[in-house]
Copies of this chain bind each other. A is one copy, B any other.
Amino acid sequence: MFNTQKILNDFPILTRPGANGLPLCYLDSGATSQRPNQVVAAAARFYTEINANVHRGVYRISEEATEAYESAREKIRAFLNAGSTREIIFTSGTTEAINLVARSWGAKNLNSGDRVVVTEFEHHSNLVPWQMLAAEKEIVLDVIPVLDDGTLDLDVYRELLKLGPKLIAVSGMSNVLGTIPPLESMIPAAHEAGALVLVDGAQLVPHLKTDVRVLDADFLVFSGHKMLAPTGIGVLYGKETLLKEMPPFFGGGDMIRKVFLRSFTVADLPYKFEAGTKPIAQAVGLGAAIDYLNLLGMDQVAAHEHELTLRAIESLQAVPGLTIYGPLGGNRGSAVSFTIEGIHPHDIASLLDREGICVRAGHHCAMPIHDRFRIPATTRASFYLYNTEADIERLCSGLKKVVSIFA
């Protein structure tokens, strides 16, 4: 059984009583998650016990630091079921990872007239890098539209595949609508059409067991801070055959084999893409976060969240004037965005904050999907493993109070 009380003990920020005597009701894990004591301690332990720079150091703590860093890489490899640690590149986050693919793979493989397909619900981080590339290299950006129920228009997707795109860049879970696109059919279809697939896993990997070999994703990117780990660390998974052919991205220490005054040769994977001193302590923290998730079991985490999400959707619909954007049921993620007739999302969030309830208001770094639904902004509640039914009750009664204030 999923023991939320036991879990909450690991998150002191969620149990300390706030100004109104109630603990924080944190419903903004879609923006960033909280971190359990175990993760904070792992990073602190790194600093106070084995802190040193990694690789190249021959003294003991440097070797221990290297081992801690590389064993975090191995934990990630196993978590994703990747074939080799050479496929696991540490980045500063999802955004850097996508830009890396756009600039390195894209620079080499995309030419004027080539097509890249995105979706209408992409996060700006999986949209703007492709727009920048489109402007520089005159590639064509195609968009899979979103239907009224928040799912992708797969008929259009099939048509777009016929145009022979080089890459499909798609979020594994929308951070606004909670939509989980059918990657298990979209990826094979892309491959059949000769396209590679980059999965933006920023919302997917923290919440649902993700097996890169089952998915057969060519690239998968995600951030540590949305999955219990420190800020400042993220991952690019790429198939080894692809990464091998890609030119390096950042130049600097550690990504080289040899450097002369006017030329250099490149290091082997994964170091080729890891220039400079990486976020070492944060990588170790991400390893600890994965240990934590594995201990709970990703299937349990997903089941718990799914139950909460369906319960939330049901309760929210009882709030007068409230409209939810995105799927109302089925296999969907825990981001639930909504509007309330006549009340601005910022006012909703401010008023909920008085009750110690943290929700996000705005465009959630996904303006186009808001344009699609002709709304400037939404209020979003998003859940993670430490949330409980009590949180949902507080959210809904808070919203009813908001409605009455504006009545």
Residues of A within 8 A of B (CB): 12-13, 24, 28, 31-32, 34-35, 37, 39-40, 43-44, 47-49, 51-53, 56-62, 92-96, 98-99, 102, 120, 123-125, 127-132, 134, 141, 143, 223, 225, 230-233, 248, 250-256, 258-264, 275-282, 346, 349-350, 352-353, 357-362, 365, 367-368, 371
Q: Is there contact, CB below 8 Å, between A352 and B59?
A: yes
Q: Assess A40 versus B47: contact at CB under 8 Å? Given A57-B360, A59-B352, A276-B96.
A: yes
User: How many chain copies does the complex carry?
Assistant: 2
* A394 smallest CB distance to B (angstroms): 13
What is the bound-complex CA distance between A280 and B231, given in angstroms?
6
What is the bound-complex CA distance between A254 and B371, given in angstroms?
18
Taking CB atoms, residues of chain B closer than 8 Å to A260 are 367-368, 371
Taking CB atoms, residues of chain B closer than 8 Å to A231 are 232, 277-282
**B31, B35, B223: the one within 8 Å of A57 (CB):** B31
15 contacts between A and B (CB under 8 A): A12-B48, A13-B49, A13-B51, A32-B51, A35-B47, A59-B349, A60-B353, A93-B276, A98-B252, A99-B275, A123-B253, A124-B256, A127-B251, A141-B261, A259-B368
Q: Is there contact, CB below 8 Å, between A251 and B282?
A: no
Q: Assess A132 versus B53: contact at CB under 8 Å? Given A48-B40, A232-B281, A275-B95.
A: no
What is the bound-complex CA distance between A120 and B254, given in angstroms?
19
* A227 smallest CB distance to B (angstroms): 12
Looking across the interface, which residue of chain B has its beta carbon closest to that of A49? B13
Q: Is there contact, CB below 8 Å, between A350 and B276?
A: no
> For A51, A56, A130, which residue has the most chain B Cβ atoms within 10 angstroms?
A51
Q: Is there contact, CB below 8 Å, between A124 and B52?
A: no
Q: Is there contact, CB below 8 Å, between B232 and A282?
A: yes
Taking CB atoms, residues of chain B closer than 8 Å to A95 are 250-253, 275-277
Looking across the interface, which residue of chain B has its beta carbon closest to that of A43? B43
Taking CB atoms, residues of chain B closer than 8 Å to A256 are 124, 128
Known: A35-B51, A223-B277, A282-B282. 4 other contacts (CB 8 A): A59-B357, A128-B255, A131-B263, A254-B365
Q: Is there contact, CB below 8 Å, between A252 and B128?
A: yes
Q: Is there contact, CB below 8 Å, between A99 and B250?
A: yes
Taking CB atoms, residues of chain B closer than 8 Å to A127 are 251, 259, 261, 264
Q: Is there contact, CB below 8 Å, between B58 and A125?
A: no
What is the bound-complex CA distance between A313 and B102, given in angstroms?
48
